[in-house]
Structure 1
């Protein structure tokens, strides 16, 4: 049996339960990187759109917010004062902005789940590997390395796979979350500027 510490060798030498745990963690790790790449891409697109809008260019991905403001501005309600019209446009635009940011942050909650659950799934695999080692000792009445090595290898592998999934997820969640927090402030400023532009004819 190959006791190499390479991820592939540790997976192939593991028992059925440990293999399932490792496979789940590998899928979680792949999913994590997909969410990180998507989060960074979305954040960059929104930042670029905000800069473009400030420069008088296309609003690009911010169009749901701009359209909500334009629809509210085009509506005319009987007996509505100018102040009420401003407030209605602002409320409509803010609501659209909140929905937009919620959609943009979609993957963050999943990163939080992986970062918090990943270590515990890995810990389950670790405990299972240690239990396998004790079971082998009980069956053979032998404590030699040949007997305990497979179970210890499973335990180490499960720990490593769990950390490989959880660490990038935790870093991605914190960094991308901070980026979206800054973007949220910029979107709020875009809303304010958009409302001013839509109501500049109101006295």
Structure 2
């Protein structure tokens, strides 16, 4: 067949996205569906983490502002009793341990200081882990999706060559659909992987920055607790 005739045959063949999916081999279809689901999942994680990080940053700013202007632990505890993000849980954990030590008459200053420091560190670890939650999804999709798409591409090309051999026809009308289906799987893999990698790097950096802010507060908080203990104050 002449080149112009081959091009005309290929042009008349429907290469729309829906057609490529419907006419693909079941293995390639499974790859396409999996990659599409992974892409949607990644975007859901991205929007969720972005919202959580913004909420946490606002909570940190509000608490730090109150903490800097009002040194009374009792007032701060009452003001932020219902807050579950940022610095409030860390502060509440330290106050709870201090109060429990006093209630149980464990009055040794060094003992209270070490126990409060321990629970503050544990609360900080929990808050940091909460920030990192679901980011592993982005890392996994970002690293695995291109290879999954490549597997679909290889499988589709194998089917295309099989069709060529069966039909004994190398015209574009025979080759183009199978090759297009195969390359579409690769495109879906990249479509899932690229946003996942970019978002993972950005969100990981944001999580590290928020964790650093909480660590800085924990140090200042423990310094103030130590000073109050040495001064004989109670909560």
TM-score, L = length of structure 1: 0.91
- Which residue pairs with 1:3 in the alignment? 15
Query: Which residue matches 2:126?
Result: 99
- Residues 21 and 122 of structure 1 are in contact (CA less than 8 Å); yes or no, is this contact kept in structure 2? yes
Per the alignment, residue 37 of structure 1 pairs with: 47
- Pairing partner for 2:165 from 128, 138, 149: 138
Alignment of 1:183-194 (within 5 A): 183-194=210-221
| Structure 1 residue 64 displacement after superposition | 2.8
Give the Å deviation of 1:139. Answer: 0.8
Q: Distance in 1 between matches of 2:31 and 2:174?
A: 22
Measure how far apart 1:105 and its partner are. Answer: 1.1
Q: Distance in 1 between matches of 2:132 and 2:62?
A: 21
Q: Deviations over 1:147-170 (max 9, x none)?
A: 111210111100100000011110
Q: Is the 8 A contact 1:50 1:190 kept in 2?
A: no
The 8 Å contact of residues 127 and 155 in structure 1, kept in 2 or not, is answered as yes
Give how far 1:49 is off.
Answer: 0.9
Matches within 5 A, 1:118-157: 118-157=145-184
Structure 1 counterpart of 2:5: none
- Which residue of the partner structure matches residue 165 of structure 1? 192
SS in 2 for 1:142: coil
TM-score, with length taken from structure 2: 0.79
- Cα separation, 1, equivalents of 2:106 and 2:214: 31
- Alpha-carbon distance between aligned partners in 1 of 2:185 and 2:56, rounded to the nearest angstrom: 38
Q: Does the residue aligned with 1:143 lie in a helix, a strand or coil?
A: coil
CA distance in 1, matches of 2:42, 2:106: 53
Tell me which residue corresponds to 2:61. 51
Deviates more, 1:173-182 or 1:132-141: 132-141
Q: CA deviation at 1:195?
A: 2.9
List runs of 5+ in structure 2 lacking aligned partners.
1-12, 68-78, 231-235
Report how many aligned residue pairs link the two structures: 201
Cα deviation, 1:115-164, whole Å, max 9, x if unaligned, reads 11111110111001110111011111211111111210111100100000
* Equivalent residue number for residue 82 of structure 1: 109
What's the CA shift for 1:197? 4.3
The Cα offsets for residues 44-77 of structure 1, whole Å up to 9 and x where unpaired, read as 1111111001110755313432221111111226
